[in-house]
Amino acid sequence: MLYAILCYNNEDVVCAWSKEQDDEVMARLQVVTEKLAKQGRLGPVARLLPTTAATTLRKTKDEPLVIDGPFAETKEQFLGFYVVECATLDDAVDVAKELADANPGGGSYELRPIGAYFPAREAV
Amino acid sequence: MTDPAWINTALSSARPQAVAALLRYFRDLDTAEEAFQEACLRALRNWPKNGSPRDPAAWLIFVGRNSGIDAARRRNKQAPMPPEETVSDLEDVEGAVVERLDGAHYRDDILRLLFICCHPDLPATQQIALALRIVSGIPVKQIARAFLVGESAMEQRITRAKARIANADVPFEAPGPVERSERLAAVLAMVYLVFNEGYSAGATEIANRAPLCEEAIRLARLLLRLFQTEPEVMGLTALLLLQHARAAARFDAEGELVLMDDQDRSLWNRALIDEGLALIDKAMRHRRSGPYQIQAAIAALHARAARPEDTDWAEIDLLYSVLESMTPSPVVTLNRAVAYAKLRGPEAALKLIEPLEPKLAGYFHFFGVKGGLLMQLGRAEDAREAFGRAIALANTAAEAAHIRMHLDRLSAESLPRDGISA
């Protein structure tokens, strides 16, 4: 089964990392993802730019509304995700633990089973 | 996060929010800074053992406030009681919870903290130094290095600036909408100054001054988090990101300035450009234009051009004309001359800038641009004279070296070359 591992953290803190610290974290995370890739379990991975760069389109009765945001009401923001093949929830928890170990500071990981998956494909 | 380096990063990212809130409690900058320092020391002891809190700023505010109150009580045993208003909210035990919930408070706190650094009595360099010290928490030593002065001289400067703002009346009640937008405008201008201090540095100073650019971007992002729907805040942030994205390409191995047309665009930082482009696109949707948005839009057109010849000079020229009408200034017109020359030729651009000469007679870039245009027109002798004046007015060694390169070229070949200063 495919799991999406959704990463949440305080983006103020993540944005404050120096380039060296950022590179260090990325290198440590890469060790985890490379292992998964070798096992053939790794799907797409994405790191998102800060929520301040985001825009939201909200459906309304009439024209959809395009607004700034998401407004960060919580202390943690959605910062990126991994798609990983995991036979059981325990496997997914193990992957998330490894990611958490590689990543300093706080944050949380949401382990969400994927219902339908459409990897990038050529236009027919 | 048990490593002190990571804790320090978390502490410095929480600093503006925490010091700003502590300033609201204690109404005195030094007390607020001391309380924050004490909270940081406790964090360094406590966090490795107990893990870092989910909301570092709220933790620091709560602990800092308690330690500030303790310190005031200790002092009171030796000294007369301070006036009640210097220690407000003494009994507010639910403060930590309240802080966590009330984002709007934070916004005005941080704006106030930045705004007191922009006091009109303070010269621009002191505003910058103060903001870097108080808001960003950069050590005095590092600020001194960026401004090319000794540490004790900078220490004195900051102390004097602090004394001046301590005597100024800074209202602590929440500002009204008009006042809030006035404060925001002053603060944006100050952040832009911080950036320019770093950006205008030559190659030899860049190691000491590039952190100013990064700090300005951090402050801009902070403001953006607080004012998420303000197009000018998006515009300023986009502008700084797009300018800073070119940092690695702006100097060659010898430390010479590289003009935008000659820069290796593969060295431009793609992630910064993407964030900047997303922000300026967002800002433009608001249809409330402003000078930062226009400048960011110009920078965005450069960033979007894969090759120099793909640059949309017509649009850039149009944006400059809008900027000229919004903020009329000879410097803006001078900057427009580059786009003007690309579109209408060097002769037309020269006509555009010649009337500016009396106002810009002491301005390095004016003679750099003028010399470049004259060179393109094949007027070697006039170009040489303009370049000579530029060298005399150069602010950095890199600027002077750049002009000398043109002069050498003029001597070597009398062929017209494109040499407009970017």
ipTM (interface predicted TM): 0.88
What residues of A are in contact with residue B222 (Cβ under 8 Å)? 12
Judged by CB atoms closer than 8 Å, whether chains meet at A50 and B275 is answered as yes
Q: What is the DSSP letter of B251?
A: B
Q: What is the pLDDT of residue B90?
A: 38
Judged by CB atoms closer than 8 Å, whether chains meet at B221 and A15 is answered as yes
Cβ of residue B136 closer than 8 Å to a chain A Cβ: no
Beta strands at A77-85 and A2-9: parallel, antiparallel or unpaired:
antiparallel
Q: What is the pLDDT of residue A112?
A: 97
Non-local CB neighbours of B290 within 8 Å, separated by 6+ positions: B231, B232, B235, B326
On average, the pLDDT of chain B sits at 87
Q: Percent of chain B scored above 70 by pLDDT?
A: 91
Judged by CB atoms closer than 8 Å, whether chains meet at B6 and A105 is answered as yes
Task: Work out the minimum CA distance from A115 to partner chain B, whole angstroms.
Answer: 30
Cβ of residue A24 closer than 8 Å to a chain B Cβ: no
Judged by CB atoms closer than 8 Å, whether chains meet at B218 and A16 is answered as yes
Cβ of residue A46 closer than 8 Å to a chain B Cβ: no
Q: What is the pLDDT of residues B125-171, one digit of tens each?
A: 888 999 999 999 999 998 998 888 899 999 999 999 988 888 777 77
Place of tokens 């809190």: B53
d(C-alpha B173, C-alpha B180), whole Å: 11
CATH superfamily, region A2-113: Dimeric alpha+beta barrel (3.30.70.1060)
User: Which member of A12, A53, A75 has the closest CB to residue B275?
Assistant: A53
Cβ of residue A83 closer than 8 Å to a chain B Cβ: no
Judged by CB atoms closer than 8 Å, whether chains meet at A18 and B275 is answered as no
Statement: residue B233 has pLDDT above 80: yes
Question: Which residue did the predictor score with more confidence, B73 or B330?
Answer: B330
**DSSP annotation string for A75-107:** S-EEEEEEEEE-SSHHHHHHHHHHHHHHS-S--
User: Which member of B1, B228, B271 has the closest CB to residue A71?
Assistant: B228
Beta strands at A42-47 and A65-68: parallel, antiparallel or unpaired:
unpaired
d(C-alpha A31, C-alpha A35), whole Å: 6
Range among A14-28, A37-51, A52-66 rated most confident: A37-51
- Residue B121's closest CA among B187, B167, B188, B155? B167
Statement: residue A75 has pLDDT above 80: no
Judged by CB atoms closer than 8 Å, whether chains meet at A104 and B1 is answered as yes
Q: What is the pLDDT of residues B26-70, one digit of tens each?
A: 988 899 999 999 999 999 999 988 888 878 888 999 999 999 998
Statement: residue B357 has pLDDT above 50: yes
For A56, the enclosing helix (H) or strand (E) is: strand A55-58
Task: Work out the minimum CA distance from B58 to partner chain A, whole angstroms.
Answer: 11
Which band of pLDDT confidence, cut at 50, 70 and 90, is reported for residue B410?
Answer: confident
Scanning B227-312, the segments in alpha helix (DSSP H) are 231-244, 270-285, 291-304
Q: What is the pLDDT of residues B71-111, one digit of tens each?
A: 888 877 766 555 544 444 434 434 444 444 456 678 889 99
Q: What is the pLDDT of residue A73?
A: 62
Q: What tokens were used for B372?
A: 């470049």
Cβ of residue B152 closer than 8 Å to a chain A Cβ: no
Judged by CB atoms closer than 8 Å, whether chains meet at A69 and B218 is answered as no
Minimum CA–CA partner of B56 in chain A: A13
Domain ranges in chain B? 1-101, 104-225, 229-291
Domain ranges in chain A? 2-113
